[in-house]
Amino acid sequence: MAFEDLLRQGSFRGVPFHTKSRKLTSGRRGPTIERPNRDQAEAQDLGRKVRSFSVPAFVLTSDGFEAKDRLVAALDAAGPGTFVDPFGGRFAERRVKVVTYDLDESFDAECVASFTINFEEVGENTERGFTAGRISSAFQLTEKSSALGLAAQNAFVNSYVTDGVPGFVRQAGGDVIGALTDQVGGQVFTALGVSSTMQDAISEIGAVGLTALTGGGLDIATGLSAGFSALSAAVPSIDDGVSGFLSLGAFEASGIDVPISTATRGIEAINRSALGSFVRRTSISMATELLPKYTFLSYNQAQTITEGFVNVIDAEIDRAGSDVAGEGDGGVFAALSSVRSAVFDFTREAGAGKANVVEDLPWLTEPSEVTAYRLYGDASRAGEIVRRNDLAHPNLVPSWAPVEVLDE
């Protein structure tokens, strides 16, 4: 593997920084004993010295002091944190405490804030450099998402019956997939602007309706999972993808209240229920898979995203914990609970140190540069205010309605 492939983005507590070098200091503990009239010395080995890292880091301040302030806040925070060693390769995460840091700013180095940071490792760090007992929250999200997708597929295949059933039972599955295709193409993702790639993904989902007429549960599950994966890759932005899949997390199989007058009608009802459950759970899995790529701009945004996930997941946990055929499943219940915890861990870390969104009401209508300078002392942040509030003109920040701004 090439050297460049092993390099990592340096960071502390999730706050990134740049560096061109780092110094690692360690060794063995214990005294060296030199006895009289002996040429050989003796040494007592009392274990490895604590590893210390000296990192000359820097952040760019051309767009304001936000990056610098976030790193200072991370360094000042109580307790140990995770330091990603840029030169640590695959096992770069270290649990460390901040011993000292220096911040150097001058007019000679414009738009650059330089740090000299000294870390010491703490807690249980294994010899290879990986922080034992702590896996990144983003990795946990991906892992739990995959586990939920597999649990949802197993539950669906075990519940969905196709052998020896009349044609109308199979057709019912096709009808549910048709309703899903209409909802995906006509409601959830249409507002995003359906590109040719998205249309291909939607068509791939719709084609599973034909599979339902001839194939089994595994064929349907495989086809829908592939279509959802293609849709996830085609969405124009991570924000849109997360919102769209969370909307599908409330999907209901149309016609589920069929009259259960015969055994085959009972099978039809169970199949519809199982298919609706599979769609919801796979959608939650897809939204969770996209979450590590989400860019959080404020603490409030992290809270909102958390609430959106928790509401959808809690509703599905209630279904998975029930005894309703086609919905209740212990494996899915456990997988959803794990995803819920992983989402909390990730969004809590992602929102840490982010500014809060507050409202500001100018006395007079003013240009966005004036608003930015009045609030932050930095007119270059005017574009941030315009984008956040979707202002029609950058010179017209209204005085008749509050605008949303960051509190720092």
- The two three-digit tokens of residue 47, written as one number: 């274990």
pTM of this prediction?
0.59
Q: Could you tell me if 51 and 120 are in contact, meaning their C-beta atoms sit under 8 angstroms apart?
A: yes
Looking at residue 6, what is its pLDDT?
A: 67
- Pairing of the two strands 52-60 and 23-25: antiparallel
Q: What is the pLDDT of residue 188?
A: 57
The confidence score (pLDDT) of residue 130 equals 41
379, 367 in Cβ contact below 8 A? Answer: no
* Separation CA 332–CA 330 (nearest Å): 5
Amino acid at 344: F
285: enclosing H helix or E strand: helix 263-290
pLDDT at 126: 47
Whether the CB-CB separation of 208 and 217 falls below 8 Å is answered with no
Q: Please enumerate in sequence order all residues whose Cβ is within 8 A of that of 359, keeping only pairs 6 or more positions apart, or say none.
A: 402, 403, 404, 405
pLDDT digits (tens, 9 = 90+) for 333-380: 999 998 888 888 888 877 766 667 666 667 777 887 777 777 777 778
Q: What is the pLDDT of residues 152-184, one digit of tens each?
A: 899 888 888 877 778 887 888 888 888 877 777
The owner of tokens 């349907």 is 220
| Sequence-separated (6 or more) residues with CB below 8 Å from residue 383 | 368, 394
User: How far is it, in rounded angstroms, from Cα 281 to Cα 332?
Assistant: 8
Quick one: tokens of 75? 């360094």
Q: One-letter amino acid identity for 301?
A: Q
d(CA 15, CA 67): 8
Residues 215/154, Cβ–Cβ less than 8 Å = no
Residues of the chain with pLDDT under 70: 1-6, 90-91, 123-136, 185-195, 254-260, 352-355, 357-361, 400, 403-408
State residue 135's pLDDT score: 56
